[in-house]
Structure 1
Amino acid sequence: DGKWWAGTYGWGFTVDVIPYTGARADRGAQFQYRAAYGFANALLLTGDQRYVQLWKRVCEKVNENAKVVDGKTLYPHMYGTEEGDEGWYSFKPEKFAPRAEELFYWTQDRSVLEFLSSKPDWISYLDGDNPDYPEKTLTDDLATIRDRMTSVRNDTATPDTRMSDDMNALNPAITDSLIRLMLGGLPTGREGYPLHCRLRYFDNELRRAGIPADVAALVESMDENSTTVTLVNTDQNRHRTLTVQGGAYAEHQITSVTAENTTTQVDGSAFTVELAPGSGVQLNIQMQRYANQPTMKMPWAR
C-alpha cells in the first residue's frame, strides 16, 4: 500500500514463526543489520564520514521514541500496525542500535558506545582493559570448531530434509577473531560484507595477498589516527619479508611508523617490514583513515 515501513523485511515485518501456536517474531533486524554497511560502503568509496553519521542519527531518532513502563525505560525496535494503530512497537530494555560496534569502528566516535549496555570485549581489549581477550577468544574459537565438527559428524539429516541454510550454524571456518586481532578489522560475516580493516598483509616473496608463512600479527590498540601491531617471525632459521598495507583496499594513508623509538616517514598506503629469524617488533602506525581511493591492486603493482 505504499507504506514506507511495510514490505518484506521492513520496519514492520513481524511474521508467524510457529503458526499452530500463534508465535510471531520480528524480522526487521534483517534489514536493520544490513543497512549500516551500505553507508559504510559509501564511506569506503568517498572518505566522507557523513554517510555513517547518518546511521547514528537513525539510531538516535528511533531511541527518542522510548517510553517508561513500571519505572523502566523501553526502546522501540519496530514500526507498523502490529499492535493495532500505526506506530512504534517491540519495546525492549536495550536501545535500538544495530551495528553499534561497527559504527564506532567507522567513526571512532566514543559516544556511539553509549548505545550499548556494555562495551564489547574486543573494544575493551583495544582500550587496554581486557588483556586476556586474545588468548580467551582463541580458546573459545578452537572449542567452537571442535563442537561444530562433532555436529557435522553426528548430522543424520538427508539432503531432501535439510534446509539450505541449516549448515550455517555448522560452518567450522571461524575467522571473526582472526580478522579483529590480526587485521584490526570487522568480520565480514557469512553475508560477505566488504572488508573494513586497519591493516592488511602481503607476502613479498610469493607475490600474493596474505601474511607470510610463520609470521604472526596481533593488533594491540587503535584510535582515530593510529594502530599498534606486533609482528613476530616464528621461524628460527629464515628471514621473512612482508608488506603492511593501510586498509583492505589501501584506503588508509600511512603517514609514519615508529619502532623501537625510531620513527620513519612513509606517506603512502603501504610499507615493507623485514623480520630476522625468531624476531619480533612492535609498530605504532600513524595514518589518515579513508583518505585514499580504494583499489584491488597489489602494493607492488601500484
Structure 2
Amino acid sequence: MPSRPESGTGWPVLTASVPLGAPPTWAVLERRLFDVLDEAWRAFRDRYTEPDGRLRFTGTAASRDGADDFYETFFNWPTLYLLGGHDDLLPATKLHWEGVTRQLSGLGYLVDEFERGYDWFHQGESMLLFYGICAADPADERFRERAERFARLYLPDSPSGNYDPITNTIRAPHNGAGGPRYGVNEEWASYPASLSNMRPYGLPLDDLPGIGTWSDLEDPGNAAAMGAAMNRRLGHGDTAINLAATGLATNAWLYGHDERYRDWALRYVDGWRERAAKLGGVLPDNVGPHGEVGELHDGHWYGGTYGWAWPHGIYSVGTAAVVAAVNTVLLTGATDRLDLGREALDLVLDKGIDGTVTATEMTNKPRWLASLGEGADRPTLLVPNRHGSAGWFDYQPPQLGLSAWLWQISGQECDARRLADIHRRSGYDWRTVREFRDKEEAGHEAPWLAYLRGDNPTFPEQMLRQALAQVGRRMALIEVDDADPAGVHFHHWQWHNPVVTEALLQLATGTPQVLYNGGLLPTRLAYFDADRRRPGLPPDVAALVDGAAAVDDAAAVDGAAPVGGGEPERIGVRLVNLSPTRTRRVVVQAGSMGGDTIDAVSLDVTADGRYPGDMREYAAGPLSGWRQRVAVNGPRVEVVLPPARQVRLELECRRRTGLPRYATPWT
C-alpha cells in the first residue's frame, strides 16, 4: 500500500503487495546474470591485470594508436556497477583506470593523465570508462578534478591551443593534452599495399595521380606519395569526428553546471550545424586551417580524417554527430539541435536500396553476417556508408543504435517514425535474438524495439540467455588463453572482457547500449539501493521495463496520436523481489541524471490479509485488488519490496523538466 514519505526523503514510498508466486523466468535469469558477471570480472582481473590495476603487457607501443584499447578493456564495468554490480566493482574499476593511466603515461601516450593527441573516433572509445566512473561516483573529487581539467583543454583560453575561437574549429584531427598533433600515425609515413589490415577500407585518398587501386600502392613511390598526402591533408584542420569532444565538456558540466563547458560545446556544435546548413543539410567531414570546408580537399565536403570517404563513413561521422546532438539535449533541455544527427542519418536513408548482405561488397560484412544470421541472405534495406569522388558506396544495413539514441533522447514522433521506416524496409525478422558480441557489445536493438512495440513477448528471456551465453564463451576463451603478454595485440583484452551490459540496460532501464565512440549514458530509468545508499538494484531485485512512451510514438506511424510536446509519457516497469526472507527497498528515478519528473505512478495493490491464506488449504485463495494512482511531482519514488513480492509501476513522466547532473538521491 502507498504510504507517507519517509522523513527527510521528500518522495513517496510505495509498498508492493502482490505475491510473487512462481518467479518469472526473466527475473531469475536477470539475477543469475548479475551473479555470473560478478564471478567473471574477478576472473578476468586475476588473469590479465597486475595488483596496481595495469594490464599485463610488455610489448612495444605504436606511435599513436593503442591507448584507447587499454581503456576499452573495462569500458562497461562502471555501467555494471550502476545497474547493481557488486560493491567492490567500483573501487576495482577505479584502480584499473588509474593503473592503466600510469601504464600509458610510461609508454608515452598520455600527458598529465590525458591522451597526448589522437583522433576522437578512438579517444571517444577510450573515454567511456572515464565517463562511466564519473557517473557512478560523482562524490569522488579526484575524478571531478580530472573531468574539469580534461574539458578545459578545449576551451578558448586553454594554453593547449586545441581550439581556434576565430574559426570555431579544433585545429587538428589528432588533438589532446599536447595540443594539436599534426600529421597521422608515424607508421603511415609511407602507405604501402602490404598494410593488409587497412586494405578492406580502400585508398585513404582517391584523387592522387597514378594511384587508382590498392595494387598501385605496391610501388614504393606511390606508397610514399600517399603517406605524404595523408600527413598534409588528413593531418591538419578540423574533422567531424571532433564533435565527440563535446562529451568532455558535457561530462564536466554535469558536475556543477559550469557555463564555460556548456557554452563551448554549444558554440562548437552550432559551427558544424551552420556548415551543414550551407550545404543543404549535408554534414561535411572537413574544415581547413582557415575555417573553410574543403580547403584541403579541392573544395569537397568529403575526404577528411575518419570522414565520409575513409575508412568508415556514416559509422564514424554519424556516431560523432549523434553523440554531440545528445549532449546538446543534456546541456539545454531542448531538442532543436538534434538536426545535427538526424540529417546525417536521413541523408543516407534517403539513398537506400534493396540488397542482400551476402551478395553485396561491404567493409563490415562479418558483423552483419553474425548479427543477421539467415537474414543476411534476404533482400533488405542497405544504405551507403561512404562517399568519394565517384559518389556513394559501401552499402550496408543501417546501424540501429544511432536512430535508437535519437529516439531515446527525444521521445518525439519524427525519431520514432525513422525507426518505423527502417523496420518496414528491413527484410530480416526484428524479433530474432542471435548470439553474437562485437567489441561495442551492441547490435540487439531490433528485437528490443520489437519487444517495446509489443511484438516480441519472449525477448527478455531470449536476451538474457544470449547474454549468459556470451559470458560463458568469454570465460572459456580465458580458460584456454595461453598468449604471451609480450606479444598480444592491443585488442586481446577486449576479445576476452566477459562483462556484458546491453541486456541489462535494455531490460532494466529501457535504454540502448551506449554509443561506443564517446557517448554519455543518460538512461530512461535509474535505480538506487535505499538501504545501502548506492546506485543500482538491490540484491535479489530484478527490473523489467515492459513499456515506454516512445512505443506510442512509433504507433503514430499507423495513425495513433503521438506522445510529446510536453504531454506526459508512460513508462511501465516491473519490480520483483526474489528473496523469500529479506525486504528490499529500491528508489526508482526518472532519468539517470535527474532531469525528468514523475507526475504520478499507478500500481496494483491487493487486499490486506488475503495472502498466504489458510494453512490447511492446498493452495492460496484468489486475491482481490485494485489499481491505485499516487501523485509524485518529483524525480523519484521509493518502492518497498517485502519478501517474495512484486509490483508493476506505470510512471507518468515528463522529460527535460530540470537540469540533469551527476548526483545521487541523497546529495
Structure 1 length as normaliser, TM-score?
A: 0.85
Tell me if the contact between 1:259 and 1:282 (Cα under 8 Å) persists in the aligned partners.
Answer: yes
- Compared CA separation, residues 276 and 101, structure 1 to 2 (3 A): same
- Compared CA separation, residues 74 and 37, structure 1 to 2 (3 A): closer
- Does 1:258 find its partner at 2:602? yes
Tell me if the contact between 1:202 and 1:242 (Cα under 8 Å) persists in the aligned partners.
Answer: yes
Question: How far off is 1:219 after superposition?
Answer: 0.8
**Cα deviation digits, residues 86-111 of structure 1 (max 9, x gap):** x3332x26458771222232333321
What is the distance in 1 between the residues matched to 2:597 and 2:637? 11
Aligned to 2:457: 131
> Bigger radius of gyration, 1 or 2?
2
Aligned to 1:278: 644
Q: Which of 465, 469, 474 is the equivalent residue of 1:143?
A: 469
Q: Any idea what SS the aligned residue of 2:499 has? A: coil
What is the distance in 1 between the residues matched to 2:477 and 2:330? 38
**Cα deviation digits, residues 22-70 of structure 1 (max 9, x gap):** xxxx46623433431111111122221222243222222334445799x
Tell me if the contact between 1:32 and 1:98 (Cα under 8 Å) persists in the aligned partners.
Answer: no
- Compared CA separation, residues 65 and 247, structure 1 to 2 (3 A): same
111-120 vs 210-219, greater mean Cα deviation = 111-120
Aligned to 1:78: 386
Aligned to 1:9: 306
Aligned to 1:20: none
Aligned to 2:533: 207
- Does 1:45 find its partner at 2:331? yes
Q: CA RMSD in A?
A: 2.6
- Does 1:89 find its partner at 2:393? yes
- Compared CA separation, residues 214 and 13, structure 1 to 2 (3 A): same
Q: Which of 228, 242, 246 is the equivalent residue of 2:572?
A: 228
Tell me if the contact between 2:522 and 2:592 (Cα under 8 Å) persists in the aligned partners.
Answer: yes
Q: Which of 106, 110, 115 is the equivalent residue of 2:422?
A: 115
Q: Any idea what SS the aligned residue of 1:256 has? A: strand
Structure 2 length as normaliser, TM-score?
A: 0.40
Q: Which of 406, 416, 419 is the equivalent residue of 1:103?
A: 406
What is the distance in 2 between the residues matched to 1:176 and 1:75? 25
> For this pair of structures, how many residues does the alignment match?
284
Aligned to 1:21: none
Q: How does 1:175-214 map to 2 (within 5 A)?
A: 175-188=501-514, 191=517, 193-214=519-540
Structure 2 counterpart of 1:80, one-letter code: G
Structure 1 counterpart of 2:584, one-letter code: R
Tell me if the contact between 1:203 and 1:212 (Cα under 8 Å) persists in the aligned partners.
Answer: yes
Tell me if the contact between 2:508 and 2:544 (Cα under 8 Å) persists in the aligned partners.
Answer: yes
Question: How far off is 1:133 after superposition?
Answer: 0.5
Where is the helix percentage greater, Structure 1 or Structure 2?
Answer: 2
What is the distance in 2 between the residues matched to 1:9 and 1:284? 43
- Compared CA separation, residues 201 and 13, structure 1 to 2 (3 A): same
Question: How far off is 1:192 after superposition?
Answer: 6.0
Q: Any idea what SS the aligned residue of 2:475 has? A: helix
**Cα deviation digits, residues 74-130 of structure 1 (max 9, x gap):** 64221223x4xxx3332x264587712222323333211113526510011111111
- Which consecutive residues of structure 2, in runs of 5 or more, have no partner in the other structure? 1-232, 234-295, 356-379, 431-445, 551-568, 605-626
- Which consecutive residues of structure 1, in runs of 5 or more, have no partner in the other structure? 15-25
Tell me if the contact between 1:11 and 1:79 (Cα under 8 Å) persists in the aligned partners.
Answer: yes
Tell me if the contact between 2:322 and 2:340 (Cα under 8 Å) persists in the aligned partners.
Answer: no
User: Runs of 4 or more off by more than 6 Å in structure 1?
Assistant: none
Question: How far off is 1:244 after superposition?
Answer: 0.8
Question: How far off is 1:186 after superposition?
Answer: 2.1
Where is the strand percentage greater, Structure 1 or Structure 2?
Answer: 1
Tell me if the contact between 1:75 and 1:96 (Cα under 8 Å) persists in the aligned partners.
Answer: no
What is the distance in 2 between the residues matched to 1:293 and 1:111? 27
143-152 vs 99-108, greater mean Cα deviation = 99-108
Q: Any idea what SS the aligned residue of 1:99 has? A: helix
Aligned to 2:482: 156
112-121 vs 271-280, greater mean Cα deviation = 112-121
Question: How far off is 1:140 after superposition?
Answer: 1.0
Tell me if the contact between 1:52 and 1:106 (Cα under 8 Å) persists in the aligned partners.
Answer: no
Structure with larger RCO (C-alpha < 8 A, sep 6+): 2
